[in-house]
C-alpha cells in the first residue's frame, strides 16, 4: 500500500484557502499542515482567519504579527523550522514569492516538491519578468547594512536557507506554457464552479481597485474614471465593491458623488457570489484577478474588463514596487491586461478617456 501523501501549505491571504482545497483534491493529498503569518495586508489576514474554519489540517501554525527588530521578525516564524523539517513532507505549497518569510520556509525544507500557487494576478508578472529568465526570487538588497547583517545572523541561527530551488511547479488558473525549470499544473477551481440559471439583469457589480492608495491616480481622476464606467450601464443598479485597502473617507466620497450603492465586503467577492441565489448579471472591473476567477467559475454571468488605456495608469511607473526589481508597476498592469485580452469569457471594453 502506498504511503499517505503529506503536504505543507504556507499561506497568508484568503484566496489561498480556495487554492488549498483545489490542491488537496488535484494532488491526491491525504493529510496536510498549514502555517500562516499575519503580514499586515489590510484585512486580508482577518478574512483568512474566517475561511480557515472550513479546513481540517492535521496541524495549524499561526504566526502572529511582530514589528521592531529584524531578529524578532525572522525568529517568529523560523523557530518552527526544526519541527517542520521533521515532518517528511512530499509536497510544500506556498503562495507568494515576494514574501521573505515564505521563501525562508520553503527553501529550508530540502527534499519535497515545491509548488507555487496563484496570488492574484502575480503569476502573470512573475512569468514574464522572472520565470522566463529562470529566476524565482527577486528581492531588492537591503540598503541598511547593519539590518542586513542582523538578518543574516538570525537566519544562520535558525539554519534558514535562501537558495532558490532548481525547479518549481506552478499550480495556476492561468494558461501558461511550461518551461524547463517550471512545470505547470492547472488549477480547475472545480469546487468553486457554479451555474446561475437566474441572474438579476438590472444589477451590475463594479469591482473597485486600490489605485488611489497606491498613488496611480488622484481621487478626482479615479472618480471621473468610475463615472465613465457607470455611464456604460444606464438604468442599471450599480453595486460598488471597494478594494480592501481603500481609505474609508474616499469610500464615503464615492458614495456621495456617484450613483452607486456601496457594498463593503469582508470576504472575497467570489465567496459572496457563490452565496447568491440571484446574483448581479454583470461583473465589471479594470484588471482585478477576480475577473479571471469569476469568468472561469461562474457560468451565467457577464464579465467585463474595462481598459481605459495604459496611459491612465502612467503614475504606476514611478510608484514603489514591493520586493520586485525587474519591472515597474505600470509593466505589472500591462502584463495583466495583455493576458485578459486573450482570456476566454472576459469582454474588454476599451473606454474612451479623452475627456476624463
Q: What is the mean pLDDT of the chain?
A: 93
Name which of 298, 307, 297 is nearest 340 in CA terms: 307
Beta carbons of 91 and 115 less than 8 angstroms apart = yes
Based on the fold, state whether residues 202 and 338 are members of the same structural domain. Answer: yes
Residue 6 CB neighbour total at 10 angstroms: 17
Based on the fold, state whether residues 38 and 76 are members of the same structural domain. Answer: yes
Based on the fold, state whether residues 208 and 334 are members of the same structural domain. Answer: yes
Lookup result for grid cell 525568529: 75
CATH number of 320's domain: 3.40.50
pLDDT at 1: 41
CA–CA separation, 229 and 234 (whole Å): 10
Q: How many residues does the chain have?
A: 356
Beta bridge partners of 277: none
The residue among 173, 190, 207 that closes a domain is: 190
Based on the fold, state whether residues 18 and 155 are members of the same structural domain. Answer: yes
pLDDT at 45: 79
Beta carbons of 71 and 100 less than 8 angstroms apart = no
Lookup result for grid cell 439583469: 201
The residue among 141, 172, 190 that closes a domain is: 190
Give the range of the structural domain holding residue 204, as residue numbers without chain letter.
193-350
Cβ contacts of residue 115 below 8 Å, gap of 6+?
23, 27, 91, 92, 93, 94, 168, 169, 170, 171, 185
Whether 355 maps to a domain, the answer reads no
CA–CA separation, 343 and 174 (whole Å): 9
Based on the fold, state whether residues 283 and 321 are members of the same structural domain. Answer: yes
CA–CA separation, 332 and 346 (whole Å): 19
Based on the fold, state whether residues 300 and 340 are members of the same structural domain. Answer: yes
Express as a percent the part of the chain with pLDDT over 90: 84
pLDDT at 41: 63
pLDDT at 298: 95
Based on the fold, state whether residues 140 and 260 are members of the same structural domain. Answer: no
Based on the fold, state whether residues 168 and 256 are members of the same structural domain. Answer: no
The residue among 129, 163, 190 that closes a domain is: 190
SS3 212: coil
- Counted domains in the chain: 2
Based on the fold, state whether residues 197 and 133 are members of the same structural domain. Answer: no
Whether 118 maps to a domain, the answer reads yes
pLDDT at 356: 42
Beta carbons of 312 and 233 less than 8 angstroms apart = no
Residues of the chain with pLDDT under 50: 1, 355-356
Whether 1 maps to a domain, the answer reads no
Per-residue pLDDT tens over the stretch 132-169: 999 999 999 999 999 999 999 999 999 999 999 999 99
Beta carbons of 257 and 223 less than 8 angstroms apart = yes
Based on the fold, state whether residues 56 and 157 are members of the same structural domain. Answer: yes
CA–CA separation, 147 and 125 (whole Å): 29
Based on the fold, state whether residues 137 and 225 are members of the same structural domain. Answer: no
What is the 3-state secondary structure of 62-89?
EECCCCCCHHHHHHHHHCCHHHHHCCCC
Based on the fold, state whether residues 235 and 163 are members of the same structural domain. Answer: no
pLDDT at 355: 46
Whether 251 maps to a domain, the answer reads yes
Whether 356 maps to a domain, the answer reads no
CA–CA separation, 44 and 144 (whole Å): 29
Name which of 266, 211, 269, 260 is nearest 240 in CA terms: 260
Amino acid at each position: 500500500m502506498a504511503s499517505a501523501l503529506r503536504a505543507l501549505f504556507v499561506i497568508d491571504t484568503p484566496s489561498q484557502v480556495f487554492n488549498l482545497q483545489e490542491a488537496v483534491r488535484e494532488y491526491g493529498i491525504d493529510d496536510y499542515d498549514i502555517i500562516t503569518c499575519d503580514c499586515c495586508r489590510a484585512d486580508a489576514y482577518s478574512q483568512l482567519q474566517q475561511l480557515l474554519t472550513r479546513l481540517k489540517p492535521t496541524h495549524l501554525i499561526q504566526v502572529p504579527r511582530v514589528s521592531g527588530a529584524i531578529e524578532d521578525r525572522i525568529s517568529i516564524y523560523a523557530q518552527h523550522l526544526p519541527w517542520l523539517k521533521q515532518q517528511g513532507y512530499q509536497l510544500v505549497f506556498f503562495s507568494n514569492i515576494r514574501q521573505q518569510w515564505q521563501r525562508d520556509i520553503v527553501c529550508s525544507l530540502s527534499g519535497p516538491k515545491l509548488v507555487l500557487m496563484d496570488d492574484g494576478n502575480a503569476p502573470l508578472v512573475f512569468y514574464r519578468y522572472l520565470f522566463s529568465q529562470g529566476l524565482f526570487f527577486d528581492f531588492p538588497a537591503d540598503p541598511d547594512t547593519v539590518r542586513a547583517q542582523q538578518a543574516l545572523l538570525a537566519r544562520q541561527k535558525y539554519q534558514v536557507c535562501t537558495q532558490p530551488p532548481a525547479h518549481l511547479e506552478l499550480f495556476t488558473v492561468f494558461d501558461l506554457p511550461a518551461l524547463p525549470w517550471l512545470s505547470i499544473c492547472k488549477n480547475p477551481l472545480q469546487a468553486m464552479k457554479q451555474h446561475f440559471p437566474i441572474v438579476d439583469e438590472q444589477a451590475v457589480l463594479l469591482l473597485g481597485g486600490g489605485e488611489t492608495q497606491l498613488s496611480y491616480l488622484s481621487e478626482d481622476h479615479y472618480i471621473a474614471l468610475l463615472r465613465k464606467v457607470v455611464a456604460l450601464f444606464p438604468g442599471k443598479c450599480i453595486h460598488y465593491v471597494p478594494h480592501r485597502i481603500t481609505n474609508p473617507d474616499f469610500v464615503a466620497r464615492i458614495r456621495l458623488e456617484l450613483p452607486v450603492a456601496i457594498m463593503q465586503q469582508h470576504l472575497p467577492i467570489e465567496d459572496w457570489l457563490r452565496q447568491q441565489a440571484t446574483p448581479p448579471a454583470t461583473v465589471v472591473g479594470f484588471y482585478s484577478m477576480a475577473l479571471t476567477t469569476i469568468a472561469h467559475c461562474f457560468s451565467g454571468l457577464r464579465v467585463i474588463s474595462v481598459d481605459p488605456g495604459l496611459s491612465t495608469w502612467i503614475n504606476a511607473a514611478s510608484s514603489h514596487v514591493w520586493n520586485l526589481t525587474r519591472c515597474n508597476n505600470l509593466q505589472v498592469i500591462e502584463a495583466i491586461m495583455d493576458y485578459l485580452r486573450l482570456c476566454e469569457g472576459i469582454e474588454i471594453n476599451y473606454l474612451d478617456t479623452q475627456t476624463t
